[in-house]
A = this chain, B = another copy of it.
Amino acid sequence: MLDDIEIARAARLKPIGEVADRLGIPGDALIPYGRHIAKIEHGFVSEARHRPRGKLVLVTAISPTAAGEGKTTTTVGLGDALTRLGRKATICLREPSLGPCFGVKGGAAGGGHAQVVPMEAINLHFTGDFHAITSAHNLLSAMIDNHIYWGNEPRLDGRRMTWRRVLDMNDRMLRHQVNGLGGSADGFPREDGFDITVASEVMAIFCLATDLADLERRLKRIVIGELDARSYATADMIKAAGAMAVLLKDALQPNLVQTLEGTPAFVHGGPFANIAHGCNSVIATETALGLADVVVTEAGFGADLGAEKFLDIKCRKTGLQPDAAVLVATIRALKMHGGVAKEDLGGENVAAMEAGFSNLSRHLENLRKYGLDVVIAINRFASDTDAEVARLRQLCAEAGAPVALATHFADGGRGAEDLARTVLEVLDGPRRQPFGLLYPDDLPLPAKIETVAREIYGAASVEYDGRAARKLAEYGERGFGGLPVCIAKTQASFSADPQRRGAPSGHVLPVRDVRLAAGAEFVVAICGSIMTMPGLPRVPAATRIGLDAEGRVVGLS
């Protein structure tokens, strides 16, 4: 089989106007970025968002393993299959981050015959949204330190600034630094550091904002640290939000591209799935729902993280409700959850798969707690044996969940037609339970964390580091107790220990730190060590990426 970039390059792309036409987007609402990418104008977006809405399908997955699950490819394959079955379908994905492209990962626009294209552009600068977010974030950073440098009013406490800087780059050297060295004209020395752009609160705000006015309202509310008087300092107090909104204005318009098979795809926003909420922009999702009959979207990591945040943060804030969920798994990954090491995945092992099914089963139960009807999607590998598949079908039947096998990676949309039919049965049938969120807004913050820990993670209890507990209490006292929580935890396990696969229970969730994202409107609870600035591996993918003699990109896959 060809590699991703070769498949993408061989594809015959439709002009973006034709793709837009499928969704009834008029030409004058398109802002082209080349021939195969367009942004959709604010004016049309604000009208389309308020039309009668299509059905929303949330694609999520079991806890990720090194074996790979294929959530993005399943989203693409399902969208293409729905199109093949005659539905007016579209998909909504996050934009890939540039930094990881040059590390281990390569591109992040799907894979095989289930990709969004133009793959190179999407994986590299695309329409510049992340660059705009980087600029807006760092403008605030520069304005904070400049405000302190000149001693402007209101007086900021330079020792208590929490706003860092960002770059869309994997660069461990920037995690912890002392800035402002060099002398009195060069600022004032203080501890600081850079996160990767996807971890920026500006990214989360961008993805949750419903329009430009809401964007600016949220930017103003960003808490940057404290005033000399210990009350919270905001971006508004140093008059930074207007210029930040100006930098983000064009970027906030959703991006339209296409799959390899020509299904329209909204690829917009890309918040980290740990310290942010990990799904594409509200504006893109709502626009898609106003234009298509079925919208397939994806949330980051496993369902305990991605789906939980999609539901308890994004849906809570917007009133969005998925009409069905697709829970993606592979037999290989289930075997890893059953205790098999990656290098031993070759042979048949029904028992291990059965043991690992506990992970899938827990995610399934969790999604049902929101009243969701769930379809299990098995992303099939050639190495899966008939016995493994048969037993898996049986386990799903016992769990009362419809299941479909899909081969979209090798076969494109044709390979996901069974899955699409199974999803359509759910969408076209009556809703079995009412949709509901996991906890109400007015539950105190610690109780919200405890609810997620108990109901979703299977934890027995939550333990707070002393400072985390104090800060959490302070957020409540200062009027932020009504916000939802965004839990940053390893994606590899329901527990905070990445080694505990399957469906651990009775464990303790350790909350090491908490952070207030007042503009994004959630409180982050950090459980265990969370990396907000990745590093590069010993041999970065960048060393293999380059241009060939014809000036074409090679090595990006």
A181 and B178 contact, Cβ closer than 8 Å, known pairs A98-B135, A128-B128, A172-B149: yes
How often does this chain occur in the complex, in copies? 2
Asked if B176 and A135 sit within 8 Å, CB to CB, the answer is no
**Cβ–Cβ contact B171 & A125, under 8 A:** no
Residue of chain B at shortest CB distance from A211: B551
Is there an interface contact between B32 and A169, defined as CB atoms closer than 8 Å?
no
Chain A interface size band reads: 35 or more
Q: Could you tell me the distance between the alpha carbons of A543 and B239 in the complex, rounded to whole angstroms?
A: 5
Stretch in A182-190, A257-265, A362-370, A430-438 with 4+ CB within 8 Å of B: A182-190
Residue of B nearest to A131 (CB): B131
CB of A208, distance to nearest CB on chain B (Å) = 18
| Docked CA distance A240–B169 (Å) | 14
- How far apart sit A32 and B410, CA to CA, in the bound complex (Å)? 34
Please report whether the interface of chain A is mostly helix, strand, loop or mixed according to DSSP. Answer: mixed
Out of B33, B102, B249, B538, name the residue touching A243 (CB < 8 Å).
B102
The interface residues of chain B lying within 8 Å CB-to-CB of A546 are 216, 241-243, 245-246
User: Which stretch, A71-79, A136-144, A198-206, A287-295, touches the partner chain B?
Assistant: A136-144
With beta carbons under 8 angstroms apart, the residue of B169, B174, B544 that contacts A135 is B169
9 A-B pairs with least C-beta separation: A242-B546, A176-B182, A131-B131, A243-B542, A239-B543, A142-B171, A173-B187, A176-B181, A146-B536
Give residues in A with beta carbon < 8 Å to B: 31-35, 42, 98, 102, 121, 124-125, 128, 131-132, 134-135, 138-139, 141-143, 145-146, 149-150, 152, 165, 167-182, 185-187, 190-193, 212, 216, 238-243, 245-247, 249-250, 535-536, 538, 540, 542-547, 551, 553, 555-556
13 further A-B pairs in the complex, CB-CB below 8 A; given A142-B170, A143-B540, A149-B172: A32-B35, A125-B247, A125-B250, A138-B167, A142-B171, A172-B180, A172-B186, A175-B182, A176-B182, A216-B546, A238-B543, A242-B546, A245-B547
